[in-house]
Amino acid sequence: TVRETDGLALSSRNKYLSAAEREQAMVLWQSIQLARQAVRASREAIPASRLKSELKWLIETRPAARVDYIEFLDPETLLPVARVKRGTHLALAVFVGKTRLIDNGRL
C-alpha cells in the first residue's frame, strides 16, 4: 500500500475528507499497526473475532468513523481465517463521514 506522509493510504477519495475527518481517518493505519503489534507480541495465534472486536472498538471511538468490514485473510488464498498469526493479511473498510476508505496490511 502506498501511503501519504502521515500514513493514510493514498486514495483519490482522501480529497473528500475535511481536515477533522482526515485526522480521524488515521485510525485505519493505527488499526493495522495495533493488529501487527498484537500478533507479533503473541506466542499463539489470536482468535480473529477477538482482534476484530478490539479494532472495531478502536475505530468507532472516532466520532466520524463507522466500520464497513474488518477481515483477516490467509495471505495465499485470501480466504477468511479464524485465528490470526504473523503473515495474516488484514483488510478493512471504514466510512469516515460520507467517505468510504479502504486499507490493508500484512501482520
Chain segment 51-71, per-residue pLDDT in tens = 999 999 999 999 999 999 999
3-state secondary structure of 75: coil
Cβ proximity of 82 and 91 under 8 Å: no
- Its domain, for residue 53, covers 12-106
Dihedral pair phi/psi, residue 83, rounded to 5°: -130, 135
- The CA radius of gyration of the chain, in Å to the nearest whole number, is 13
Averaged confidence pLDDT in the chain: 97
Q: Which residue is associated with the grid cell 499463539?
A: 44
CA distance 58 to 105: 17
CA distance 1 to 102: 10
Asked if the structure places residue 32 within a domain, the reply is yes
What is the count of structural domains for the chain? 1
Say which CATH number the domain at 101 has: 3.30.1300.10
pLDDT band at 105 (very low <50, low <70, confident <90, very high): very high
Asked if the structure places residue 1 within a domain, the reply is no
Asked if the structure places residue 3 within a domain, the reply is no
What is residue 86's predicted lDDT score, i.e. its pLDDT? 98
